[in-house]
A and B are shown apart, each in its own frame.
Chain A
Amino acid sequence: MGEHLIKMPDVGEGIAEAELVEWHVKVGDLVREDALLAAVMTDKATVEIPSPVDGEVLWLGADIGDVVAIGSPLIRLKTGDEEGAASARDTDKAPEAPARPKEIEAQADGAVKTSDAIVEKQAKEAPQPRPVEAPQSPPVRMHRPSARRMEGDKPIASPAVRLRAREAGIDLRQVPGSGPAGRITHEDLDAFLAHGPQAAGAEGLSQDTSVQAIKVIGLRRKIAEKMALAKSRIPHITYVEEVDVTALEDLRASLNASKRAERPKLTILPFLMRAMVKAIAEKPNLNAIYDDEAGVVHQHGGVHIGIATQTGSGLMVPVVRHAEARDLWDCATELNRLAEAAKAGLATREELSGSTITITSLGAMGGIVTTPVINHPEVAIVGVNKIMVRPVWDGSTFIPRKMMNLSSSFDHRIVDGWDAAVFVQRIKTLLETPAMIFVEA
């Protein structure tokens, strides 16, 4: 009998550590070669670690949520092979790791590939880390007493409480219990006697003193860290302006009505992206990455627009690369593809990084105003609020117009208020007269 030590593999991202987000095994489990042992997460991609051998799990080297350095012992297996007895073998190299991104891209491109196919392929090669859907943070349930009894359950109360209730003519089934498992205490009875059934919960109201401890792991932790970094490092300035999108909406409606079948349905975002490309041409310092430690602003020529996207497991920001080189339809197509990939957890690390400016839109939920948090280390973010028909004074009368607010934040270290205002005003002008988006100035 030998022992097999598995170390945190280098998952090929040039990173030094990864967060353990899930154990698929526990001590004592028997695992087959290729069975999944754990999931680790780097930045926003999650990688599964399969077992290289058959064996029994002897030891787990980390708890869920721990950040483990590459090469650290992760799991120890007892194996049945004789050669293993001579020396505990290490598996710290990530075999064929560079092959991985290709596979993911193939998958993300939409080629239907069952996970079985991937498993099969990998089994033929060597066990290797495997990308999976972004994990949900599993809520760790603390002991939660259910204050409410189930229908038909006998009331739980000590004989002394029962006696007092009986003598006071109170049916304990009407009395909510605050104790563990819904036990009715003397205090509950006092409350019922003092305030009657209404106050004591005949309406179905009762205090819920439960507390659920939910470990902040995986994507949620990444988001938390990023938000804290952005808000603590960047002095935000937020500028809100309203835009009359009546003409834009008319244009959008006719384009959608007359578009070719294979073209995507247009939302307001592709128009905004194109308008931003134009505005950035005039204010290029807003399309930038600020490396504040080095004291350098990297002003990009290419406009890589991050699109803040709500997914099942949290906020993700897939990136439409080179928006300056994409027309309206292309922007829309790429936007749809990325949003789908992100929601399905199939977006690659490539697709989730490298933006130079970001759009955040809550669509119909957009509200009147938001105060967007800059996607660090960028310097600007444009927030789209909800389109609403509002009365607008045209000089002689109020007329109904489709109005939309843009709430945009800027890194005030790099962007002056004036520049911010000019940028937003430029976008406003373009969106209000949408033909200008498509005409070379």
Chain B
Amino acid sequence: MKDISCKLLVIGAGPGGYVCAIRAGQLGIDTVIVEERKPGGTCLNVGCIPSKALIHAAEEYDRIAHLASGANPLGIRTTQPEIDLSQTIAWKDTIVGRLNSGVSGLLKKSKVKMVQGRAHFRDGKTVEVETETGRQIIRAESVVIATGSAPVELPGLPFGGAVISSTEALSLTSVPDRLVVVGGGYIGLELGTAFAKMGAKVTVVEAQARILPQYDAELTRPVSKRLQALGIEVMTRAKAKGLAKGGSALLVETENGSEVSLPADRILVTVGRRPVTQGWGREELVLDMDGPFIRIDERCRTSMRGIYAIGDVTGEPMLAHRAMSQGEMVAEIVAGHQRVWDKRAIPAVCFTDPEIVAVGMTPDEAHKIGSEVRIGQFPFAANGRAMTKLGEEGFVRVVARADNHLVLGIQAVGQGVSELSAAFGLAVEMGARLEDIAGTIHAHPTQGEAFQESALKSLGRELHI
């Protein structure tokens, strides 16, 4: 097979890699992207997108089940729904399929050459790819490592059989009767909630003192409350020890040191993700590491000239939109533009029920850096739109510097608040002050009004509470 020479080689076509390649192609850079599987990476194939599809289906099912129970105030009567999860999964797969071909189309449109196969570095400028039709050598002036991350396996609980990762959970064709989720982070809670809504008896085993430990207790309280209402049992300070004999139960060491056996049809392990730093020839390179991650600078440059790294392989937060932004930046740097990572905030969303969105600093974080802060919090219970959606749980909270009112962070928990992340992100990125948000007309009746009200409240000018 004839060797390929190009200006830019991107390894991995996840959100970081494909965005990098598209942007590079747009800028006229001769670009090649290598992907072992389908384009779109974890996010599109076994992460963000499929999980949101499943969560949506579960929500719909739960809503109808709730209506059918007769306990709703809306006056709607219906009969108990049924769910054919295999059809749900097939529907999800069509969405994923459409997006796969969408990404391929965009790459093609940007004149990016796609090579399918597993890449392996020979040296800093040369990569060989095992393709279906043989070995392909690619030489590139610049290389972007965008190999992503994979679910972490627990030593005593290897994946296989009843023990599954999020990837398998998104392809189950029937709802397990009893699901044990190990790890109370956002992935475990999103999936656990979805399966509980579809009828599974779900137990969450979390090693730390509470679920979603990266958020403050105030933000996670509405989620805990909802988990309880859905009949999900949450065991905190509990450690998964391994499968019981026969494999149909999980042995758990509880808070007080005793061991219990949780019967389970499936055990979903969501204890985090690890960067994929093996299997692509890192040993042929001399890359400085930052713990398990590849060390990068503010331009996503690694310790080797001409080699960049982006996305989950470079560290926390492991979020698709961070990778995308890094990918775009690196493409422009390779094109000779002056770029540097100067983002003020990377929004984070938990698609739990209710949803949590966090942008910038929490009050605790702001205190830690020694800022005198001013905080405004507005509950959805006082928001008309939230009432009409039966979604009064939660609040919007804004954190600002006390001296100049610069907004440092915004958090919210509530039904559908993920869409508020756009407004929150814009406010922080633009360097908004409390007065800017308070002075912006927010459409009525929307949940976004709670954002404006939180700013007003922090200024002592709240109107609707």
Which residues of A come within 8 Å of B, CB atoms? 143, 145-146, 154, 156-159, 162, 166-167, 169, 180-183
Stretch of B104-112, B166-174, B335-343 lying at the A interface: B335-343
CB distance B404 to A146 under 8 Å?
Answer: yes
Shortest distance from the beta carbon of B328 to any chain A beta carbon, whole Å: 12
- Which residues of A are found within 8 Å of B436, using beta-carbon distances? 180
B82 within 8 A of A: no
Known: A158-B430, A180-B433, A181-B433. A145 touches B404 (CB 8 A): yes
Known A-B contacts A166-B339, A167-B338; A158 and B403 likewise in contact (beta carbons under 8 Å): no
Contact of A181 among B337, B338, B342, B431 (CB under 8 A): B431
Q: Does B339 lie within 8 Å of A154, measured CB to CB?
A: no
Contacts of B38 in A (CB 8 A): none
| B406→A162 contact, CB < 8 A | no
B405 an interface residue at 8 Å Cβ cutoff?
yes
| A182-B405 Cα distance, complex, nearest whole Å | 11
Produce 1/0 per residue, B336-357, CB < 8 A to A: 0111101010000000000000
Minimum-distance CB pairs A-B, first 7: A156-B431, A181-B404, A181-B406, A166-B338, A158-B430, A183-B431, A180-B433
Interchain CB contact under 8 A, B433 and A162? no
CB distance from B24 to the nearest CB of A (A): 18
A181 near B339: Cβ-Cβ < 8 Å? no
The answer to whether A169 touches B406, judged by C-beta atoms less than 8 angstroms apart, is: no
Contact A162 B342 (CB under 8 A): yes
CA distance A87 to B80 in the complex (A): 65
| CA A158 to CA B426, docked complex, whole Å | 9
Q: How far is the CA of A154 from the CA of B403 in the complex (A)?
A: 15
Q: How many Å lie between the Cα of A116 and that of B333 in the bound state?
A: 73
Partner of A166 from the list B340, B431, B435 (CB cut-off 8 Å) is B340
Q: Which of B338, B403, B430 contacts A169 (CB 8 A)?
A: B338
Q: Residue B30 at the A interface, CB < 8 A?
A: no
Whether B429 sits at the interface, judged by CB under 8 Å, is yes
B263 CB, nearest partner CB in chain A, Å? 52
Complex CA distance for A154 and B433, rounded to whole angstroms: 15
Please give me the residue from chain B that is nearest to A145 by CB atom.
B404
Give 5 pairs: A residue, B residue, CB < 8 Å, sorted on A. A143-B435, A145-B404, A166-B342, A180-B436, A182-B404
Cβ–Cβ < 8 Å partners of B431 in chain A = 156-158, 181, 183
User: What's the Cα separation between A74 and B283 when bound, in Å?
Assistant: 83
Contact of B344 among A143, A154, A182 (CB under 8 A): A154
Q: Which residues of B contact A (CB under 8 A)?
A: 337-340, 342, 344, 401, 403-406, 429-431, 433, 435-436
What chain A residues lie within 8 Å of B344 (beta carbons)?
Answer: 154
Partner of B429, one of A158, A169, A180, A181: A158
Contacts of B401 in A (CB 8 A): 181
In the complex, A167 Cα to B404 Cα: how many Å? Answer: 29
Asked whether A180 and B435 contact (CB < 8 A) given A146-B403, A158-B430, the answer is: yes
Q: Report chain A residues within 8 Å CB of B404.
A: 145-146, 180-182
A143 → chain B closest CB, angstroms: 8
Q: How far is the CA of A154 from the CA of B344 in the complex (A)?
A: 9
Closest A residue by C-beta to B344: A154
Least Cβ distance of A13 to chain B in Å? Answer: 38
Whole-angstrom CA separation of A9 from B44 in the bound complex: 77
Residue of A nearest to B337 (CB): A167
Report the separation of the CA atoms of residues A181 and B431 in the bound assembly, to the nearest whole angstrom.
9
Closest to B431 in A: A156
Shortest Cβ distance from residue B299 to the other chain A in the assembled complex, whole angstroms: 11
Interface contacts beyond A143-B435, A156-B431, A181-B406: sample of 11 additional A-B pairs, CB < 8 Å, sorted by A: A156-B406, A157-B431, A158-B429, A158-B431, A159-B429, A159-B430, A166-B339, A166-B340, A167-B337, A167-B338, A180-B404
A28 vs B431: C-alpha distance when bound (angstroms) = 36
A58 to B283, CA, bound (A): 76
- How far is A156 from B429 in the complex, measured between Cα atoms in Å? 9
- Which residues of chain A come closer than 8 Å to B339, judged between CB atoms? 166
Residue of A nearest to B403 (CB): A146
CB neighbours (8 Å) of B337 from chain A are: 167
A409 to B285, CA, bound (A): 92
A182: chain B residues at CB < 8 Å are: 404
B139 to chain A, nearest CB (A): 31
Q: Shortest distance in angstroms between A35's beta carbon and chain B's nearest beta carbon? A: 25
- Within 8 Å CB of A169, what residues of B? 338
A157 to B343, CA, bound (A): 11
User: Roughly how many angstroms separate A167 CA and B430 CA in the complex, as a whole number?
Assistant: 18
Query: How distant is the Cα of A158 from the Cα of B433 in the complex, in angstroms?
Result: 12
Output the nearest chain B residue to A172 by Cβ-Cβ distance: B342
Closest to B430 in A: A158
* B430 pairs with A181, CB closer than 8 A: no
A154 to B428, CA, bound (A): 13
A144 to chain B, nearest CB (A): 9
- A158 CA to B342 CA in the complex, in Å? 11
Give the interface centre of B342, B344, B406, B431 by most chain A CB atoms within 10 Å. Answer: B431
In the complex with contacts A157-B431, A158-B431, A159-B429, A181-B340 CB distance below 8 A: no
Bound CA span A154–B436, Å: 19
A186 to B129, CA, bound (A): 47
CA A369 to CA B433, docked complex, whole Å: 51
Q: How far is the CB of B401 from chain A (nearest CB, A)?
A: 8
Q: Please, which residue of chain B has its CB at the minimum distance from the CB of A143? A: B435
Bound state CA distance, A154 and B429, in angstroms? 12
Distance of A159 Cα from B328 Cα, bound (Å)? 14
CB distance from B344 to the nearest CB of A (A): 7
Inside 8 A of B430's CB, which chain A residues have their CB? 158-159
CB contacts (< 8 Å) of B406 on chain A: these are 156, 181
A159 vs B430: C-alpha distance when bound (angstroms): 7
Q: How far is the CB of A70 from chain B (nearest CB, A)?
A: 34
Q: Roughly how many angstroms separate A143 CA and B434 CA in the complex, as a whole number?
A: 12
Closest Cβ of chain B to A110, distance in Å, is 44
Shortest Cβ distance from A182 into B: residue: B404
Expressed in whole angstroms, the Cα–Cα distance for A167 and B335 within the complex equals 13
Docked CA distance A19–B404 (Å): 34
Say how far B342's CB is from chain A's closest CB, in angstroms: 5
Neighbouring B residues of A154 by C-beta, 8 Å: 344
A177 (CB) vs chain B CBs: closest residue: B431
Cβ contacts under 8 Å, A146 to chain B: 403-404
A147 to chain B, nearest CB (A): 10
- In the complex, which residues of chain A have a beta carbon less than 8 angstroms from the beta carbon of B405? 180-181
Closest chain A residue, CB of each to CB of B342: A162
* B415 → chain A closest CB, angstroms: 30
A146, B430: Cα distance in complex, Å: 17
Collect the chain B residues with CB atoms within 8 Å of residue A181's CB. Answer: 401, 404-406, 431, 433
**B340 contact set on A, CB distance < 8 A:** 166
Specify the chain B residue showing the minimal Cβ separation from A166. B338
Nearest B residue to A180 by beta-carbon distance? B433
Q: Within the assembled complex, what's the spacing in Å between the Cα atoms of A250 and B69?
A: 108
Q: How far is the CB of B424 from chain A (nearest CB, A)?
A: 15
CA distance A255 to B406 in the complex (A): 65
Instruction: Give Cα A154–Cα B340 distance, bound, in whole angstroms.
Output: 14
A143 to B460, CA, bound (A): 14
Q: Which residues of B contact A183 (CB under 8 A)?
A: 431
Question: How many Å lie between the Cα of A253 and that of B337 in the bound state?
Answer: 80
**A183 vs B428: C-alpha distance in the bound complex, in angstroms?**
12
Task: Kindly state the separation between the CA atoms of A162 and B405 in the bound complex, as whole angstroms.
Answer: 21
B125 CB, min distance to chain A CBs, angstroms: 28
Q: How far is the CB of A168 from chain B (nearest CB, A)?
A: 8
| Alpha-carbon gap, A280 to B254, bound state (A) | 101
| Minimum CB distance partner of A146 in chain B | B404
Q: How far is the CA of A156 from the CA of B401 in the complex (A)?
A: 13
Query: Closest Cβ of chain A: how far from B427's Cβ, in Å?
Result: 11
- In this complex, what residue of A is CB-closest to B407? A181
B333 to chain A, nearest CB (A): 11
CA distance A321 to B90 in the complex (A): 104
Q: Shortest distance in angstroms between B460's beta carbon and chain A's nearest beta carbon?
A: 12
Find chain B residues with CB under 8 A from A145 CB: 404
A273 CA / B167 CA spacing, docked (Å): 100
- CB contacts (< 8 Å) of A167 on chain B: these are 337-338
For A162, the chain B residues whose CB sits under 8 A away are 342
CA distance A215 to B340 in the complex (A): 48
Query: Within the assembled complex, what's the spacing in Å between the Cα atoms of A183 and B407?
Result: 12
